[in-house]
Amino acid sequence: MLKKADKLIPVLMIFILLFGLIVPVTVEAGDPTQVQTTIAYARSLLGSTKYDGYCQRYVRLCYEAAGIYSNVGIAYAYQAKDMWMVSSSKTEIPIGAVLYFNTSEGGHSAIYLGENRMIHALETVVEQEISPGFWAIYAGWGWQAGIEPTGAYLDSEKVFNEEKVISSVSIYKLPAKKFYKMGEEIEVEGLSLIITYTDNSTEIVSEGVTLINRTASIIGRNYIDMEYEGFGLSFPIIVLSGTDEPIIENTNILKYEKSSSQLEISTDRFCVDDIVSLLPEGFFQYNVNGNIKQSGEVATGDYFMHESRNIVIAAVRKGDIDGNGVLNPSDYIILKRIALKTIKVDDVFMEACDVNGDGKTNSFDYIILKRYLLGTTELFN
């Protein structure tokens, strides 16, 4: 009998491997679901800056980490929303679902974590409480690629209407527009705030700000006051002023534009020492942060102000879109995103984007800049 049993053991093992035991097959608690895998991967990217302006790509990669792929190419959150949104409900959102928000820049998407929290790509990948500002622009929820991942379940914690007490408010990101002409209306597009509550939770909001002073009315660098939920804040702006007489004569590398109060610089090398000798007495050069600049390259966003504060003009360095005074791959990346209209920048920096001088910012500009960086074409005479 033992010999027969020995012969049966291999047969039984093969049967079990092929068909399983004659009991229900269950997934062990330790095996991750697709929702768990998606969220784990999403959290592994916390702090990454690679997805700034690419929130939908971030969501797609997180779902793909769990084996969920789309058979159509979706670049923007609003496209994903139009194709895959399931419900506009705020009270029955499954954990792991994609949240869709209406914004002026192609929409926004995030992954719902439950208990009124989400993880998403802003300037960096962040996990945060969903603020009233985000709920105000909420469109609905759905599934990436239209596929519900395994392990999704309704969040029983409907806490987004709970009263929370703010302890402090600070600026997270400044508005895109920094340079103004006298009398222009102040713009807050791009502004976001960090809200800290008494329970030490935080969130980032971009709505609900009330401006105290709404127009650019003081020449030079000054501050715009604003209020959020009773908290006062301010951010700096630079108000330019033209002058009938150009402070620097136009040359083949320098061009003064009275209409825009800008000094356009077209050369690969032009340092502070170069321009100091050309500026009339009483002018000082500042960087975009308002600090006097005494060395280094002249950069887009630098500005020149007379000690009387009656004349303020801005520097525009051809191709220098990130404002560091040097043309590098960062400029190409930003220029491409601007041309594709995925981000918006100040008018002064937009002027730097027109590398081919045709008065437009488009694919020709970033192709030329790319070739220049690769050393295959000349950008400056």
Across the 381 residues of the chain, what is the mean pLDDT of every consecutive 10-residue run? 41 36 35 90 92 94 95 92 94 93 90 93 92 91 95 66 78 93 93 86 86 93 94 95 83 88 90 88 92 94 91 94 92 91 89 90 91 90 68
254-374: CATH architecture = Orthogonal Bundle (1.10)
What is the per-residue pLDDT across 233-280, written as a single tens digit (0 to 9) for each? Answer: 999 999 999 888 888 887 888 999 988 999 999 988 899 988 888 888
pLDDT, residue 146, reads 95
CATH of 168-236, one of 3.40.50.2300, 2.40.50.100, 3.40.30.10, 2.60.40.3630: 2.60.40.3630
Q: In three state form, how does the secondary structure of 283-345 look? A: EEEECCCCCECCCCECCCCCEEEECCCCCEEEEEECCCCCCCCCCCHHHHHHHHHHHCCCCCC
pLDDT, residue 235, reads 96
Token output for 361: 């910012």
CATH of 34-146, one of 3.20.20.140, 3.90.1720.10, 3.30.300.30, 3.40.50.12160: 3.90.1720.10
* Residue-by-residue DSSP string for 67-95: T---SS---SHHHHHHHHEEE--SS--BT
Kindly give, in sequence order, each residue whose CB lies less than 8 Å from that of residue 45, ignoring residues fewer than 6 positions away.
51, 58, 62, 125
d(CA 310, CA 218) in angstroms, rounded, equals 10
d(CA 240, CA 311) in angstroms, rounded, equals 7
Taking the CB of residue 298, how many other CB atoms lie within 10 A of it? 26
pLDDT, residue 2, reads 36
Single pTM value for the model: 0.60
d(CA 60, CA 54) in angstroms, rounded, equals 10
Token output for 381: 């005479």
Q: Return the H-helix or E-strand segment holding 17.
A: helix 2-19
d(CA 231, CA 168) in angstroms, rounded, equals 8
Percent of the chain with pLDDT over 90: 61
Taking the CB of residue 76, how many other CB atoms lie within 10 A of it? 18
Q: Where are the alpha helices (DSSP H) in 149-307?
A: 272-276
Classify 59 as helix, strand or coil. helix
Alpha-carbon distances of 151 from 110, 116, 148, 167, rounded to whole Å: 18, 18, 9, 36
In 3D space, the residue among 146, 131, 42, 103 whose CA is nearest the CA of residue 343 turns out to be 103
The partner residues of 326 in beta bridges, in order of sequence, read none
d(CA 62, CA 177) in angstroms, rounded, equals 33
Q: Return the H-helix or E-strand segment holding 370.
A: helix 363-374
What does the angle CA 249 – CA 250 – CA 252 come to, to the nearest 5 degrees?
Answer: 135
In 3D space, the residue among 269, 184, 250, 238 whose CA is nearest the CA of residue 348 turns out to be 238
pLDDT, residue 162, reads 52
Taking the CB of residue 214, how many other CB atoms lie within 10 A of it? 11
* CATH 1.10.1330.10 residue window(s) in the chain: 254-374
* CATH 2.60.40.3630 residue window(s) in the chain: 168-236
User: Are the beta carbons of 328 and 373 closer than 8 angstroms?
Assistant: yes
What does the angle CA 265 – CA 266 – CA 267 come to, to the nearest 5 degrees?
Answer: 110
pLDDT, residue 7, reads 45
Alpha-carbon distances of 66 from 279, 316, 373, rounded to whole Å: 60, 46, 38
pLDDT, residue 276, reads 82
Classify 43 as helix, strand or coil. helix
pLDDT, residue 228, reads 94
* CATH 3.90.1720.10 residue window(s) in the chain: 34-146
In 3D space, the residue among 90, 98, 106 whose CA is nearest the CA of residue 147 turns out to be 98
User: Are the beta carbons of 141 and 80 closer than 8 angstroms?
Assistant: no
